[in-house]
Amino acid sequence: MKTIVWDVDDVLNDLMRDWFSNGWLPSHPNCAVTYDNLSENPPHRVIGIGLGEYLASLDDFRLAQGARLQPLPNVHHWFQVYGRHFRHITLSAVPLGTADISAAWVLKYYGQWIRSFNVIPSSREQENALVYDRTKKDFLQWWCKADIIVDDNSVTIAAAQELGIKTMLIPRPWNKSQKTVSDILKDLARLSSE
């Protein structure tokens, strides 16, 4: 049985879109940027703020709204149909101060299939986390069990490819994926019969 490693934010849910639409824009009504203009992640330069201000806003949104995020419907449906054909884990880069919210969210919506939540702590000034792995590549190299990784970060995808892992890049405004989410889910479904 193949093992799929899933990123959480912007793969299983739509965190950046939800933060931007429901967290950033309501408190910055004069912002002329749209979600589709977020060509970088983190998007602080695109929206004209410092990295610290962006991270604080995202963390505040996670703490206030993270548990209410909804799973992406087509991804959740894919799990209902094909999830039993694979083993699944998550590998997420979140700050330790909000990782419990992400972990609870994963178990709430995907716990029928995903039983392992793994985190590479995203750096925050106020946190001094013990470092086992600096990057997702470090974790994957240590773990040695991934067959497929699904992520929205091009750097993570390139690193996984260096390790010989099959990759699926979820399309987002900050990457150059040539496929739709539906295309990727179809590709994953085909792998269920291999």
Strand partners, 91: 118
- pLDDT digit string (tens) for 65-77? 999 999 999 999 9
- Tally DSSP H helices, then E strands, for the chain: 9, 5
- Return the pLDDT at 178: 94
Average pLDDT over residues 102-118: 97
Classify residue 56 as exposed, middle or buried by CB count within 10 Å of its CB (0-12, 13-18, 19+).
middle
Q: Within 13 A of 181's CA, how many CA atoms are on the CB side?
A: 16
Rg (CA), the chain: 16
pLDDT averaged over every residue in the chain = 95
Q: Average pLDDT of 167-181?
A: 97
For the record, the structure tokens of 123 come out as 């750096």
Indicate the range of 20-24, 68-72, 128-132, 185-189 predicted with least confidence: 128-132
Residue 156 has pLDDT above 80, yes or no: yes
Average pLDDT over residues 112-140: 90
More confident residue, 193 or 181: 181
Q: What is the pLDDT of residue 63?
A: 94
**Of 2, 190, 3, 5, the residue nearest 106 (C-alpha):** 5
> pLDDT tier at 127 (50, 70, 90 boundaries)?
confident
| 131, pLDDT greater than 90 | no
pTM for this entry:
0.96
The tokens describing 84, both together, are 């039993």
- Distance in angstroms (rounded) separating the CA atoms of residues 177 and 172: 7
Asked if residue 5 lies in contact with residue 89, where contact means CB atoms within 8 angstroms, the answer is yes
Per-residue pLDDT, averaged over 170-183, amounts to 97
Report the pLDDT averaged over residues 90-116.
96
Look at residue 138 and tell me whether its pLDDT is greater than 80.
Answer: yes
